[in-house]
Amino acid sequence: MNIQIAESPGDLLLSIDGRAGIDESDELASAFRKALESGAPLVRLALSGLSAVDVSFLQLLLSLELSLSRGGRSLALRPLPAGHVLLQVADLLGINVKRLLASKTESA
């Protein structure tokens, strides 16, 4: 797994490639904590490079969203291709991640 963090005024972008599952959960949690600690009003995630995800990734993703929203901040996912592994796994688990897709902000 590869995680890159880029900050700009008003937002923070996390780009995650490769596998994102239980074996990577410590590294993912650390990156998500950095996003929370940044204070950026908008945290964007670029996840099109993910090759595999599991329920632990989705749990961390939803926890990040909840923590941000409690602080009046937002999470947005960059657009994902139809059939992307994240969308497939989320659908199987009955989790609506499509609501996080970045249609609500042009900068995402």
Count of domains for the chain? 1
Q: What is the CATH number of the domain that holds 37?
A: 3.30.750.24
Distance of alpha carbon 93 from alpha carbon 3, whole angstroms: 25
Q: Is the pLDDT reported for residue 22 higher than 80?
A: yes
Q: Is the pLDDT reported for residue 2 higher than 60?
A: yes
In 10 A of CB 95, how many CB atoms? 17
* Span 72-77, average pLDDT: 95
**pLDDT score for 102:** 65
Domain interval for residue 9 = 2-104
Distance of alpha carbon 16 from alpha carbon 9, whole angstroms: 21
What's the angle, vertex CA 68, arms to CA 53 and CA 7, rounded to 5? Answer: 80
Q: Is the pLDDT reported for residue 101 higher than 60?
A: yes
**pLDDT score for 99:** 82
Tens of pLDDT, residues 28-62: 999 999 999 999 999 999 999 999 999 999 999 99
Q: Is the pLDDT reported for residue 70 higher than 90?
A: yes
pTM value is 0.89
